[in-house]
């Protein structure tokens, strides 16, 4: 058996409605992390290319029709875009499976569908959005308008490239802004299609541009560019800090979705029929390369052994393998560098005295996957919540079970982190569910579920997990400027 073989793709930058090479004709190679085969050569933008993309986006914003269209006209084009995404869902999911190593089946069924929903949701949202009016007796009346901000830089990570980019692009375009998108260098394939999909949907040239290349060059050029008015960024906390500094001189608006180290708390009254599979998903979906991963599993001591046995059995039953193949639960890690980072925590865990329950090594795989960056689902037990494996975002299929006795202790451990993106609570006690949800310091708490999303709800992090919120009117507030108009009536 072999993985799906494809020709090496040649991918250009997408600027002003067409694919173009980099100004110096340089390209970079993209590998399939499941096999280390070369899958694409991608044009590597220079600062000059980024400058051109930003100027094109500025011109499309100032002089083009996009921001002048009625919301109904813009919404119709966005709905068309969502339709095209669904029509091309196999191609998009195949791309994400090829460069991220995501299981194709889950990607085509969930993530690409969600990507289309991201665009359609904001088309519907802006059509229904009203303004405010504040009459001042008979003499004056105030009313508000929500106007686009300008040129947005959308900088996105490699773990969920297409879906997370559309999560930003939907509200950006619905608000009447123009965009320069920069996907992660490891995973440029699916996002490279967004410019042509926008064009096919009738969105004017220059409104959606995609530049490719390294964060330190291309991302930095965007974050410092005078024509960029706002930056919506999803990625690591370390990069978020850098972008905040680079954007400071030009006073850019920022929205940051950053890292996480969620506590997944299992109380003794939890229904383990739900808590075990739910915790497995939260731990190992996307090979654990998920900001929302429930990677610190806090288990009440009275049920610790029972939970441990069930969790271990379920983790070991996950099918690790070729992301292109039906039935694969977990693909490889995204790259050699990332594999080295994740596996360095296996050494750290040993030094910290954590007990290895299962995993911690490469799985046995067919020969054609020998070079892939695979790691078995790995589970530790630790009694030291302050240890590095319990504090740092490993971003791989490595989780730690931590025993606790009381609610107070669970809360203390849950909140003992720099991060605050989300938390998960498993209990059949309604009062406890509310109590714990109120006291865990994080932007989203899931009770007896994980990663259930309503796009109207605020999404974002406390502490070092982010700045601002995305979702519904939160996204629209970021991507628009509220203007008050005060009219004298006499």
Ligand X SMILES: NC(=O)C1=CN([C@@H]2O[C@H](COP(=O)(O)OP(=O)(O)OC[C@H]3O[C@@H](n4cnc5c(N)ncnc54)[C@H](OP(=O)(O)O)[C@@H]3O)[C@@H](O)[C@H]2O)C=CC1
Ligand Y SMILES: CCCCCC/C=C/C(=O)O
> Smallest Cα–Cα separation from 296: which of 403, 189, 443?
403
- Contact 234/183 with Cβ under 8 angstroms? no
Residue 220 lies near ligand X (rule: CB under 6 A): yes
Q: Which residue carries 């686009």 as its tokens?
A: 148
Tally Cβ neighbours within 10 Å of residue 485.
11
Piece in contact with ligand X (CB under 6 A), picked from 10-18, 90-98, 238-246, 267-275: 238-246
Q: Which does 473 bind (CB under 5 to 8 A by kind): ligand Y, ligand X, none?
A: none
**Six-digit token string for 371:** 């070079």
- Contact 459/453 with Cβ under 8 angstroms? yes
Piece in contact with ligand X (CB under 6 A), picked from 251-259, 323-331, 340-348, 360-368: 251-259
Of 257, 376, 393, 470, which is the active-site residue? 257
Residue 421 lies near ligand X (rule: CB under 6 A): yes
Residue 235 lies near ligand X (rule: CB under 6 A): yes
> Smallest Cα–Cα separation from 28: which of 8, 48, 47?
8
- Contact 302/82 with Cβ under 8 angstroms? no
**Six-digit token string for 7:** 């020709």
Active-site annotation holds for 257: yes
Instruction: Provide the minimum distance between the beta carbon of 187 and ligand X in the complex, in angstroms, as a whole number.
Output: 8
- The residues in 453-482 that bind ligand X, with binding defined as CB under 6 A, are 461, 466
DSSP-derived letter for residue 227 is T
Closer Cβ to ligand Y, 153 or 292, answer by number: 292
Q: Which stretches of 317-371 are assigned E, i.e. beta strand?
A: 355-358
> Residues binding ligand X: what is the number (CB under 6 A)?
33
Closer Cβ to ligand Y, 285 or 354, answer by number: 285
Closer Cβ to ligand X, 178 or 186, answer by number: 186
Closer Cβ to ligand X, 71 or 263, answer by number: 263
Residue 443 lies near ligand X (rule: CB under 6 A): no
Piece in contact with ligand X (CB under 6 A), picked from 47-55, 105-113, 179-187, 358-366: 179-187
Piece in contact with ligand X (CB under 6 A), picked from 35-43, 105-113, 151-159, 321-329: 151-159
CA distances from 244 to 252, 326, 353 (A): 9, 42, 37
- Contact 199/221 with Cβ under 8 angstroms? no
Using CB atoms within 10 Å of the CB of residue 337, give its burial: 0 to 12 exposed, 13 to 18 middle, 19+ buried.
exposed
The helix/strand/coil state of 386 is: coil
**Residue 350 half-sphere exposure toward CB, CA atoms < 13 A:** 5
**Six-digit token string for 64:** 């083009």
Residue 190 lies near ligand X (rule: CB under 6 A): no
Residues that bind ligand Y (CB under 6 A): 160, 167, 285-286, 290-292, 453, 459
Residue 155 lies near ligand X (rule: CB under 6 A): yes
Closer Cβ to ligand Y, 439 or 453, answer by number: 453
Binding site for ligand X (CB under 6 A): 155-160, 182-186, 214-216, 219-220, 223, 234-236, 239, 242-243, 257-260, 291, 393, 395, 421, 461, 466
Residues catalogued as catalytic: 257
């Amino acid at each position: 058996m072999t993985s799906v073989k494809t020709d090496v793709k040649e991918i250009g930058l997408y600027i002003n409605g067409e694919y173009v090479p980099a100004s110096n004709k340089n390209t970079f190679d993209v590998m399939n992390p499941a096999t280390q085969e070369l899958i694409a050569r991608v044009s590597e933008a220079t600062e000059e290319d980024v400058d051109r993309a930003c100027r094109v986006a500025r011109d499309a914003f100032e002089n083009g029709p996009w921001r002048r269209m009625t919301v109904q006209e813009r919404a119709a084009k966005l709905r068309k875009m969502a339709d095209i995404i669904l029509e091309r869902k196999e191609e998009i999911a195949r791309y994400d499976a090829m460069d991220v190593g995501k299981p194709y089946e889950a990607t085509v069924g969930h993530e690409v569908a969600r990507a289309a929903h991201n665009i359609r949701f904001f088309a519907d949202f802006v059509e229904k959005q009203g303004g405010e009016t504040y009459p001042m007796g008979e003499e004056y009346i105030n009313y508000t308008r929500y106007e686009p901000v300008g040129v947005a830089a959308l900088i996105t990570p490699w773990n969920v490239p297409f879906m997370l980019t559309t999560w930003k692009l939907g509200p950006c375009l619905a608000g009447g802004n123009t965009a320069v998108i920069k996907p992660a260098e490891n995973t440029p394939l699916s996002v490279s299609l967004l410019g042509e999909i926008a064009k096919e949907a009738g969105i004017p040239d220059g409104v959606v541009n995609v530049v490719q290349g390294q964060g330190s060059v291309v991302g930095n050029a965007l974050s410092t560019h005078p024509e960029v008015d706002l930056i919506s960024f999803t990625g690591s906390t370390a990069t978020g800090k850098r972008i905040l500094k680079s954007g400071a001189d030009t006073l850019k608006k920022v929205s940051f979705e950053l890292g996480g180290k969620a506590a997944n708390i299992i109380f003794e009254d939890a229904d383990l029929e739900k808590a075990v599979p739910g915790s497995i998903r939260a731990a190992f979906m996307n090979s654990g390369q998920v900001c929302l991963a429930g990677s610190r599993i806090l288990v009440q001591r009275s049920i610790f052994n029972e939970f441990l046995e069930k969790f271990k059995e379920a983790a070991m039953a996950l099918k690790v393998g070729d992301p292109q193949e039906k039935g694969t639960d977990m693909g490889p890690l995204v790259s050699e560098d990332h594999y080295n980072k994740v596996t360095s925590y296996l050494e750290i865990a040993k030094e910290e005295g954590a007990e290895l329950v299962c995993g911690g090594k490469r799985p046995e795989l067919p020969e054609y996957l020998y070079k892939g960056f695979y790691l078995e689902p790995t589970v530790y037990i630790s009694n030291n919540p302050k240890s590095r494996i319990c504090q740092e975002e490993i971003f791989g299929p490595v989780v730690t079970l931590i025993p606790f006795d009381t609610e107070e202790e669970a809360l203390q451990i849950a909140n003992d982190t720099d991060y605050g993106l989300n938390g998960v609570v498993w209990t059949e006690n309604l009062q406890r569910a509310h109590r714990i949800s109120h006291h865990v310091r994080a932007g989203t708490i899931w009770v007896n579920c994980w990663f259930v999303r309503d796009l109207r709800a605020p999404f974002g992090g406390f502490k070092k997990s982010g700045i601002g919120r995305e979702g519904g009117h939160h996204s629209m507030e970021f991507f628009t400027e509220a203007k008050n108009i005060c009219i004298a009536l006499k």
